[in-house]
């Protein structure tokens, strides 16, 4: 398998605040599109020019919460604009999945009309699960990054159903490049999860990375920002910054 991690020099970083693009009509009062500042590398890796990030459950309104450090740095490496789909606290992303996907679809259509050529959708925890669903259902999604994709409070039976659901969505993904990073397994079902999604992605004939026990990531999706970013930023930058990766599994070592 091709190695992804060529040595990357640490480029000088300068914070660049992207101003909002022309407002996009909202499908409901709960959702909006918010552009974030990113650390912009002076030597970009290329790749998608927009990253849309979906956050997991938060006690705050998501507009008050920054994306994870690795997402901000990844967007900078790719020289991409970083947007969050935001909603008030208390919104259940699983129950409101259809409404959220409709809103994301409207944003993707508008971004395409504005001339953006490549869109990466990403998410963590429940947002990771939703990012997988978005990549299955929304035309115009080119790449997918899901960090600890899951829904909360899973029993063993629910976890088995959840794994089957994720595998089914990935088998029909519209993304050509997919990276999945899982936390420490909680039970025997989690141990089987990576193999199930690996088979699904092989059948989908996409280029993909799977980390079964991602460093700096707990079973329930809590992230150690610096450790996680140090371990995976170069790998993800190389993977999503490449335009010529073959289908099949890629290394993240």
Q: Residue 176 corresponds to which tokens in the numbers above?
A: 């050509």
- Residue 140 domain flag: yes
- Residue 154 domain flag: yes
Is residue 85 within 8 Å of 33, Cβ to Cβ? yes
Is residue 54 within 8 Å of 121, Cβ to Cβ? yes
- Residue 209 domain flag: yes
Cα separations (Å) of 139 from 2, 50, 99, 103, 176?
29, 15, 16, 13, 12
How far apart (Å, rounded) are the C-alpha atoms in residues 108 and 64? 23
For tokens 């990766």, the residue is: 245
pLDDT at 28: 46
DSSP letters spanning 57-107: --SS-GGGSPPPHHHHHHHHHTT-EEEEEE--TT--TTTTHHHHHHHHHHH
Per DSSP, which regions of 182-233 are E strands? 207-211
- Residue 248 domain flag: no
- Residue 22 domain flag: no
Residue 110 sits in a domain of what CATH number?
A: 3.40.50.1820
How far apart (Å, rounded) are the C-alpha atoms in residues 55 and 48? 19
- Residue 3 domain flag: no
- Residue 59 domain flag: yes
pLDDT in tens, the chain (253 residues): 444 434 333 333 333 333 333 333 344 447 888 888 777 654 445 689 999 999 876 544 455 577 888 999 999 999 999 998 887 777 676 777 888 899 999 999 999 999 999 999 999 888 899 999 999 999 999 999 999 888 665 677 888 888 899 999 999 999 999 999 988 777 676 778 889 999 999 999 999 999 988 888 865 556 677 888 889 999 999 999 987 889 999 998 7
Task: Say what the pTM is.
Answer: 0.83
Which phi and psi (to 5°) does residue 238 adopt? -65, -45
Helices and strands (H, E) in the chain, number of each type: 6, 10
- Residue 198 domain flag: yes
- State the Cα angle at 140 between 180 and 29, rounded to 5°: 90
Q: How many domains does the chain have?
A: 1
Q: Which domain holds residue 201?
A: 33-241
């Amino acid at each position: 398998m091709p190695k992804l991690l060529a040595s990357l020099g640490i480029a000088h970083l300068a914070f660049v605040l992207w101003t909002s693009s022309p407002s996009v009509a909202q499908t409901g009062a709960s959702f909006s599109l918010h552009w974030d500042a990113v650390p912009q590398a002076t030597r970009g890796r290329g790749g998608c020019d927009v990253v849309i990030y979906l956050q997991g459950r938060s006690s705050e309104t998501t507009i008050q919460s920054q994306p994870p450090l690795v997402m901000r740095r990844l967007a900078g490496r790719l020289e991409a604009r970083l947007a969050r789909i935001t909603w008030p606290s208390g919104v259940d992303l699983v129950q409101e999945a259809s409404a959220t996907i409709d809103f994301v679809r409207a944003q993707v259509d508008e971004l395409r009309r504005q001339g953006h050529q490549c869109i990466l959708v990403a998410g963590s925890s429940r947002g990771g699960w939703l990012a997988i669903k978005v990549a299955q259902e929304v035309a115009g999604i080119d790449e997918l990054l899901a960090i600890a994709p899951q829904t909360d409070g899973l029993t063993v039976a629910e976890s088995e159903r959840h794994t089957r659901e994720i595998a089914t969505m990935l088998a029909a993904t519209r993304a050509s490049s997919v990276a999945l990073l899982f936390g420490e397994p909680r039970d025997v079902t989690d141990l089987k999860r990576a193999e199930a999604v690996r088979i699904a992605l092989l059948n989908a004939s996409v280029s993909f990375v799977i980390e079964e026990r991602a460093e700096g990531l707990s079973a329930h999706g809590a992230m150690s920002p610096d450790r996680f970013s140090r371990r995976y930023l170069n790998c993800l930058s190389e993977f999503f910054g490449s335009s010529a990766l073959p289908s099949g599994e890629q290394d993240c070592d």
